[in-house]
Amino acid sequence: MSDQTEAVKAYLLDLQDRICAALQNEDGQASFVEDAWQRPGGGGGRTRVIGDGAVIEKGGVNFSHVFGENLPPSASAHRPELAGRGFQALGVSLVIHPHNPHVPTSHANVRFFSAEKEGEEPVWWFGGGFDLTPYYGSEEDCVHWHRVAEQACAPFGADVYPRYKAWCDRYFHLKHRGEPRGIGGLFFDDLNEWGFDTCFAFIRAIGDAYIDAYLPIVQRRKATPYTPAQREFQEYRRGRYVEFNLVFDRGTLFGLQSGGRTESILMSLPPQVRWGYDWKPEPGSEEARLTEYFLTDRDWLGLQQA
């Protein structure tokens, strides 16, 4: 393993530790349980899960480092010149599903790929981002989430946040539903244009920003009273989350196609979900406002300036 890969691995392990500590402290009741695992084809990871807490109904913060002799189809489909190369893939991926429907679900991921072939220079890239999936929208929360994202990107160029915000809106989109999964954030992949040191610094900025983006929202909303009907609506909307992860998510497909650990890959799925045939919210309701106003690829920072 190269010095560069070692440095990325050390950062990701520390990031997992810090995020778990912050979330566990915020929950105040449940603790993360660690499941260390080995991949028969090469590599392994640390899956950490938390559930039935005071705030978090189910959550997971995974670290994985897997390697093999051939890139799986999901990784080489858009880079066919890399087919047949060996690979190293390292990342931290997390999803947090709170009990309270007024607290959004959050997702974050930072990862590093290196495609290797004997006698040739490795081809490497970074990817990742974070996005927010509310069930009951709040402009204050949306603006805060995107403000933290913009500030994390700012040292790397004024164009970075708008580019990766737009990429997030395109990526986390349920084509068969014609709607975004949530209110977005940042998404990027195949990042190597700035050279290794700057790209690695950017990944650290994004990974470190997640807790700053999410915890203030949790703290504002976790004590908000909610009704059984609101909880039921949360379960309907969670169904959209499941649909995206199983049909479109590149990380899920990579994990399954590369022989990854199924339990760790699917820990992102919520514990309670429902689907209803042709279910629609009442016109004019807060439930209807979620899709009509909040899930519209909105410029949240432009809204704040207006």
Full pLDDT tens readout for the chain, 306 residues: 678 889 999 999 999 999 999 999 999 999 999 999 888 878 889 999 999 999 999 999 999 998 888 776 666 666 667 777 788 899 999 999 999 999 999 999 999 998 877 777 778 999 999 999 999 999 999 999 999 999 999 999 999 999 999 999 999 999 999 999 999 999 999 899 999 999 999 999 999 999 999 999 999 999 999 999 999 999 999 999 999 999 888 878 877 887 777 888 888 899 999 998 988 899 999 999 999 999 998 999 986 554
**What pLDDT is recorded for position 306?**
42
Residues near 280 by beta carbon (within 8 Å), at least 6 away in sequence: none
- The DSSP code sequence of 64-75 is EEEEESS--HHH
d(CA 71, CA 258): 8
d(CA 228, CA 274): 14
**What pLDDT is recorded for position 266?**
86
**What pLDDT is recorded for position 303?**
65
Task: Please report, in range form, the residues annotated as the binding site for substrate.
Answer: 93, 109-111, 259-261
Which domains are seen in the chain, by residue range? 3-294 (3.40.1500.10)
d(CA 169, CA 173): 7
d(CA 173, CA 131): 12
Give 53: exposed, middle or buried? Use CB within 10 Å, 0-12, 13-18, 19+: buried
Task: Please report, in range form, the residues annotated as the binding site.
Answer: 93, 97, 107, 109-111, 146, 176, 259-261
pTM: 0.92
According to DSSP, the β-strands at 179-180 and 56-68 are unpaired
Active site (catalytic) residues: 107
**SS3 (DSSP) at 183:** coil
Yes or no: say if 47 and 267 are a contact pair by the CB < 8 Å rule: yes
